[in-house]
């Protein structure tokens, strides 16, 4: 993996040098990057400072109206994962012995070409989902933290074809892609968290490049976008990987279904945004089937976000499962209050503080984990 990372950096830098020096006829290439340095704390662990991420991206203009884009994330705090080698003749170690595997320390966030097609544009490759829900780019999610609703339904990237178009105030699009896997994310967890920290896992869609579902999916979104208002409805129909159903098949009494092969993965959602000057109100509601489990969630956000001045955001989100909870916290309904503050220092540099108050509807006889999170982020873009 070190060789791979070094190769990626070498290629990006070389392309940039050649393009800017005029030694080849390649299209102009711009290199961009940003880094996230964060300080985390929650009630069950001491504060810690972590370089959470370094992003490096390259964008090239293809003709007058085409774009190629590649972005890689580097997570220096992630360590190799020890896994069992069940293969034979791999030239590494005998079957049944443990080997180490890279655990998303290097993550390809985007790799696509964007071109005009008919009245709209088509994006081919990997990137954010454009045609289900409110795409959770930083301006749309309003805080650095994604939050429980986006983590479940819209956070992770897809690989496929995405077409979108706009005619006056009406816009919409269709995506045809390899469906995502079923996974979990940790409420209260953070980069470089140590064992014993209180967390609560919840079931989510997950982009796992090493274990893609092999099932195709289609998503569509349609709505109205005006200068101060937008309203959209969207839906997605796909199929889960039958080998990746463990998150729902082993979550306790009533959920233990080792023979379950239900791969249903259908979702529907509505999102809206209204703004007046720097003030905004934003709402999202999604529901879906994740195998035999139904999950419904919503989020309301409001804030004051003037340009180049301090910004303030409040978000409330809730997630509900349609099955009775067990003693496994993965099955519990959760609620989340997020308070966000951003102080700009100069162009491309700011300090952001997010506080998450995490609550859970845990059944009698169980103890709710202490998963509140306070973090300070120092963002630097260049």
**Over the stretch 298-333, which tens digit does the pLDDT of each residue have?**
999 999 999 999 999 999 999 999 988 888 888 899
In-domain check, residue 74: no
Signed CA dihedral, 185, 187, 190, 196: sign only = negative
pLDDT at 291 over 50: yes
**Total number of domains constituting the chain:** 1
* Per-residue pLDDT reduced to its tens digit, 136-151: 999 999 999 999 999 9
In-domain check, residue 214: yes
For the chain, percent of residues with pLDDT exceeding 70: 84
Q: Of how many residues is the chain composed? A: 382
In-domain check, residue 142: yes
The token pair at 106 is 């290097």
* Per-residue pLDDT reduced to its tens digit, 226-248: 999 999 999 999 999 888 888 88
pLDDT of amino acid 330: 87
DSSP annotation string for 116-141: EETTEEEEEEEE--SSSS----HHHH
Classified as helix, coil or strand, 4 is helix
In-domain check, residue 107: no
User: d(Cα 16, Cα 60) in Å, to the nearest integer?
Assistant: 10
In-domain check, residue 18: no
Domain that residue 326 falls in? 42-52+113-381
Determine the straight-line distance between the first and last CA of the chain, rounded to whole angstroms.
25
Higher pLDDT, 102 or 171: 171
349 closest CA partner among 304, 312, 308, 311: 308
pLDDT of amino acid 44: 83
Classified as helix, coil or strand, 3 is helix
In-domain check, residue 194: yes
Please state, rounded to an integer, the average pLDDT across all residues of the chain: 87
In-domain check, residue 137: yes
- Name every residue whose Cβ is closer than 8 Å to that of residue 289 and which is 6 or more positions away in sequence: 264, 265, 266, 267
Question: The tokens 């859970």 sit on which residue?
Answer: 360
In-domain check, residue 191: yes
CATH number at residue 136: 2.40.160.10
């Amino acid at each position: 993996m070190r060789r791979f990372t070094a190769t990626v950096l070498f290629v990006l830098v070389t392309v940039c040098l050649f393009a800017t020096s005029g030694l080849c006829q390649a299209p102009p290439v711009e290199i961009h990057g940003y880094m996230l340095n964060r300080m985390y704390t929650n009630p069950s662990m001491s504060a810690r400072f972590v370089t959470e991420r370094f992003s490096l991206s390259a964008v090239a203009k293809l003709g007058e109206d085409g774009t190629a884009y590649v972005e890689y994330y580097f997570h220096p705090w992630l360590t190799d994962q020890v896994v069992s080698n069940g293969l034979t003749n791999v030239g590494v170690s005998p079957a049944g012995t443990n080997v180490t595997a890279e655990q998303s320390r290097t993550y390809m966030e985007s790799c696509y070409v964007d071109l005009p097609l008919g009245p709209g544009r088509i994006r081919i490759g990997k990137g954010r989902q454009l045609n289900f829900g409110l795409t959770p780019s930083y301006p749309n999610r309003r805080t650095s933290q994604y939050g429980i609703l986006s983590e479940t339904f819209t956070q992770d990237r897809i690989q496929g074809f995405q077409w979108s178009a706009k005619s006056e105030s009406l816009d919409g699009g269709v995506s045809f892609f390899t469906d995502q896997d079923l996974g979990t994310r940790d409420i209260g967890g953070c980069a470089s968290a140590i064992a014993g920290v209180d967390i609560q896992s919840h079931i989510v869609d997950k982009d796992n490049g090493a274990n893609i579902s092999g099932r195709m999916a289609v998503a569509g979104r349609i709505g109205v976008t005006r200068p101060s208002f937008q309203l959209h409805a969207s839906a997605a129909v796909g199929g889960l990987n039958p080998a990746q159903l463990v998150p729902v098949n082993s979550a306790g009494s009533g959920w233990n279904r080792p023979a379950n092969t239900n791969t249903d993965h259908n979702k529907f959602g509505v999102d809206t945004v209204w703004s007046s000057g720097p003030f905004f109100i934003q709402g999202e509601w999604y529901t879906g089937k994740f195998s035999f489990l139904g999950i419904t969630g919503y989020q309301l956000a409001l804030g004051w976000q003037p340009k180049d001045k301090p910004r303030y955001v409040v978000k409330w989100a809730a997630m509900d499962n349609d099955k009775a909870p067990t003693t496994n916290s993965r099955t519990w309904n959760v609620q989340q209050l997020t308070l966000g503050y951003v102080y700009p220092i100069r162009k491309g540099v700011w300090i952001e503080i997010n506080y998450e108050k995490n609550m859970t509807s845990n059944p009698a006889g169980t103890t709710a984990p202490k998963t509140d999170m306070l973090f300070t982020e120092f963002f630097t873009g260049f």
